[in-house]
Amino acid sequence: MRLILIGPPGSGKGTQAQLLCQRQNLVHISTGDILREAARLGTPAGLRAKPYMDSGKLAPDDLVNEVVADRFRREDRPDRFVMDGYPRTEAQAASFDQVLRQQFLDLTAVVLLIVDDAAIIRRIIHRWSCPKCNRTYHSLDNPPKVSGICDQDGTPLMQRADDKEATVLQRLKVYRENTLELVPHYHRQGLLREVLGEGDIESIYSRILQVLSYQAGPRC
């Protein structure tokens, strides 16, 4: 299975990508995680992306396209994957189409998660994540077993710097202005599948599998 998840910030792309990767054995490729890690390490790409990330704007297409193309040109390139947060513009989609063609990889589907703005803001301002394994929690709907601590590895949880309400509103604006143009792009390719991204995590996961016509398998 080769998937792209599209949806506004806070629509649950990361959570669903993690589930798909655990249960369907896919590689999770999150450009947000890659860029945050690059910024933390102070690499040239990370330093260039950081001001955009901090203000909720998109990092330049050439930078993100290069990061992704690099990942797919490596010897250990993923064969089955879920893209989370890439592509986000028409130019990125065109670049990714080319990378996939060069690698002889066909996409299975592009899943568009639909969530309204009020639900997004509520989700994001209560979102906590583990800086070590990137697992995400919601302090009301999906809290860790011990408050403030990752269930998986015991690391203290953090809130993302760009999860403040003002930055979230900016990210929603960017989503509408740039990322929604991907909908006709993938519709034309016959790949687009719409899924209601509201409700509990397992129901959303089942809906995704339903539109992909896969059976929910056991956790691996």
Residues that bind ligand AMP (CB under 6 A): 9, 31-32, 35, 52-53, 56-59, 64, 85-86, 88, 92, 162, 171
Tell me, yes or no, if 145 is annotated catalytic.
Answer: no
Which entry of 13, 50, 71, 123 is annotated as an active-site residue?
13
Tell me, yes or no, if 23 is annotated catalytic.
Answer: no
Which entry of 77, 160, 164, 193 is annotated as an active-site residue?
160
DSSP state of 137: E
Q: 114 vs 161, which CB is nearer to ligand AMP?
A: 161
Q: How far is the CB of 24 from ligand AMP (least distance, A)?
A: 20
Contact 15, 121 (CB under 8 A): no
Which entry of 2, 50, 171, 207 is annotated as an active-site residue?
171
How far is CA 100 from its chain centroid?
18
Q: How far is the CB of 34 from ligand AMP (least distance, A)?
A: 8
Which entry of 2, 36, 50, 88 is annotated as an active-site residue?
88
Pairwise CA distance, residues 195 & 211, whole Å: 8
Tell me, yes or no, if 77 is annotated catalytic.
Answer: no
Pairwise CA distance, residues 165 & 123, whole Å: 11
Tell me, yes or no, if 127 is annotated catalytic.
Answer: yes
In three-state secondary structure terms, 16 is: helix
Tell me, yes or no, if 123 is annotated catalytic.
Answer: no
Pairwise CA distance, residues 6 & 188, whole Å: 16
Instruction: Give, in order, the Cα–Cα distances in Å from 170 to each of 91, 124, 163, 177.
Output: 21, 13, 11, 11
**Closest residue to bound ligand AMP by CB:** 32
**Which is it for the CA torsion 15, 20, 25, 29, positive or negative?**
negative
Q: 24 vs 89, which CB is nearer to ligand AMP?
A: 89
Q: 201 vs 216, which CB is nearer to ligand AMP?
A: 201
Q: How far is the CB of 15 from ligand AMP (least distance, A)?
A: 12
Q: What backbone torsions phi and psi does residue 18 show, to the nearest 5 degrees?
A: -65, -45
Catalytic residues: 13, 88, 127, 160, 171
